[in-house]
Amino acid sequence: MKQPTAKTDILPAALLSLIRTGRCPHAVLLAGGDERSRKKACETAAAALLCENREQAPCGKCKACIKTKAGTHPDISIFTGTEKTHSVGIATIRDSIRSGLYISPNEAQRKVYVLPDADGMTREAQNAFLKTLEEPPAYVSFVLGADSKQKLLSTVLSRCTAFSLGEKTEKEGTERDIAAALAAALARKNEFELINAAAPLQKNRKLIKKTAVYLQTLLRDAAASDANVPTLSGLEREAVQLGTAFNMHQITQLMSVLRDICEYADKNANENLLLCVLTSRLAAVWKAE
């Protein structure tokens, strides 16, 4: 059965907003995610680019969306690698993409070239593709997918705007980002900042716990920051700041607060309450000085 409307939550919110406001860069790269969802995301982006109801793109209802869904839109060309190797060779780039580039779109305003396995392009294919990426006609868009950005030549990468296909939305941030912001607020002993830094954790028990675990690792790094050992958290600057702001006893107290938070999260404590306890108890550690 066909779905009545298009699923758009597979696309990063920032990309969707650029498309809907007509500001999408001519080449976008969707990196990360699993192979299947990446391919789906690339196709959804292509559909959104050609959708006739731009503000709701992809609406799933217009002629363009219906054709895209059926795989019959003449202005979308999808190039997947071979089933086995996922590699896209130079012949594909030369014969199928570059040769048709200057032929105007059939019925849409633009034409979209989709390469969900762009990281499977051979080196020579990437080099050939580069020329195309540099100065495509104004009506051409490229949507590339890659398991990891690192698999693309830096020259190709620098001509694309990359979006990551993580599990979380960009607004939410990762536990690492939130832990870093919390650490900075802690180091400055600023409760208001601390509450702000914890705001993205609202209504997300899983993320609260993940962040609390991350922050514990960061505090462990802080405790060892004099010893010149590599950090486990990867947040060197924050670790040093925490190590400077707090003595060993306080660091132990901060860690114990975070351990409690993890425990409460496991016991399904109310999320808002968890956040409140987290920020007030962390702040209590420096207030007790």
Beta carbon of residue 25, minimum distance to Zn ion (angstroms, whole number) = 21
- Give bridge partners of residue 140 from the DSSP assignment: 111
Segment contacting Zn ion by CB under 5 A, of 43-51, 191-199, 238-246, 280-288: 43-51
Q: x/- binding map, residues 108-127, to Zn ion, per CB under 5 A?
A: --------------------
Give CA–CA dist 187/105, Å, rounded: 56
- SS3 category, 12: coil
Nearer to Zn ion, 10 or 128 (CB): 10
Nearer to Zn ion, 19 or 274 (CB): 19
Nearer to Zn ion, 110 or 209 (CB): 110
Beta carbon of residue 55, minimum distance to Zn ion (angstroms, whole number) = 10
Which residues, 6+ apart, have CB-to-CB distance to 283 below 8 Å?
191, 194
Nearer to Zn ion, 62 or 239 (CB): 62
287 φ/ψ angles, rounded to the nearest 5 degrees: -70, -25
CB 53 within 8 A of CB 60: no
Q: For 152, how many CA atoms within 13 A lie in the half-sphere containing its CB? A: 27
Nearer to Zn ion, 52 or 260 (CB): 52
Beta carbon of residue 244, minimum distance to Zn ion (angstroms, whole number) = 55
Beta carbon of residue 44, minimum distance to Zn ion (angstroms, whole number) = 11
Count the residues of the shown chain that bind Zn ion, applying the rule CB under 5 A: 4
User: Within 48-67, which residues bind Zn ion (CB under 5 A)?
Assistant: 51, 59, 62, 65
Nearer to Zn ion, 52 or 177 (CB): 52
259 φ/ψ angles, rounded to the nearest 5 degrees: -65, -40
User: Within 62-101, which residues bind Zn ion (CB under 5 A)?
Assistant: 62, 65
Segment contacting Zn ion by CB under 5 A, of 25-33, 46-54, 158-166, 246-254: 46-54
Beta carbon of residue 68, minimum distance to Zn ion (angstroms, whole number) = 8
Closest by CA position to 247, among listed 222, 217, 284, 272: 222
CB 277 within 8 A of CB 201: no
Give CA–CA dist 71/218, Å, rounded: 48
Closest by CA position to 167, among listed 116, 220, 204: 204
Beta carbon of residue 129, minimum distance to Zn ion (angstroms, whole number) = 28
Give CA–CA dist 197/214, Å, rounded: 14
Residues that bind Zn ion (CB under 5 A): 51, 59, 62, 65
